[in-house]
Structure 1
Amino acid sequence: MWKNEKGFTLIEMLIVLLVISVLLIITIPNLSQNTENIRTKGCDALKVTVEAQMEAYQVENNAVPTIEELKTAEYIKTTECPDGTALTITNGEVVEAAGE
């Protein structure tokens, strides 16, 4: 008499939604906690890249470049870290710009 209908019952759908909700509740706070750490590591990585490109510029041009010269000559694409901190070259060393 009853047709064999294939599909999910309301209870099954509610259980699936509950499991998905629990997974989201667990993962979203972890992602937001790690954002600052990721930005800091991104800035450190950019500093290393700028230092390497600064050395390449020095070899090719026999001069210590400014951060603007590196960008103009297309050795680097950006002078700003992912967290918004600007980089500069002071005494031949790549440092975060003061006051920013």
Structure 2
Amino acid sequence: MKLKNQKGFTLVEMLVVLLVVSILLLITVPNVTKHNSVIKNKGCEAMVKMVEAQVQAYEIEEGHSTLTSLDPLVDGKYLNKAPVCPNGDIIKMNSDHKVVHEEPTAG
């Protein structure tokens, strides 16, 4: 009984493939983590716009012209909870009655 010639990968070919995959990982992982803060900031901007839309809906439905805080939105079920950005910034209303985000204060 003769053994047939079996085709397969050699050790050198496998090492070359592992080298190429490792280089690709070394290139892509730092780029993804570098853009993580940009992604979170964009998410925060989107969250602020969503809260602004909920403020407008509240003002139209409830007949209030301006809100001084976002608490009525949570109480009125316009928001499930006090809004927080993906990057940890707190969303609130400033003295000009505009929705803004700011970093939480330490302490």
Q: Report the TM-score range of the alignment, normalised by the length of the smaller protein.
A: 0.7 to 0.9
Residue 100 of structure 2 aligns to a residue in which SS?
A: strand
Higher deviation after alignment, 6-15 or 79-88: 6-15
Query: Which string of whole-angstrom CA distances, capped at 9 and with x for unpartnered residues, describes residues 35-63 of structure 1?
Result: 11111111111111110110011000012
Higher deviation after alignment, 15-24 or 64-73: 64-73
* Partner Cα separation in structure 1 for residue 51 and residue 100 of structure 2: 10
- Equivalent residues in 2 for 1:71-90, closer than 5 Å: 71-78=74-81, 79-90=83-94
* Per-residue deviation, 1:6: 3.0
Moved over 6 A (4+): none
Structure-1-length-normalised TM-score: 0.84
Q: Does 1:44 align with 2:48?
A: no
Number of residues paired by the alignment? 100
Q: Name structure 1 gaps, 5 residues minimum.
A: none
Structure-2-length-normalised TM-score: 0.79
Q: Name structure 2 gaps, 5 residues minimum.
A: none
Percent identity of paired positions between Structure 1 and Structure 2: 40
* Partner Cα separation in structure 2 for residue 72 and residue 13 of structure 1: 61
Residue 34 of structure 1 corresponds to: 35
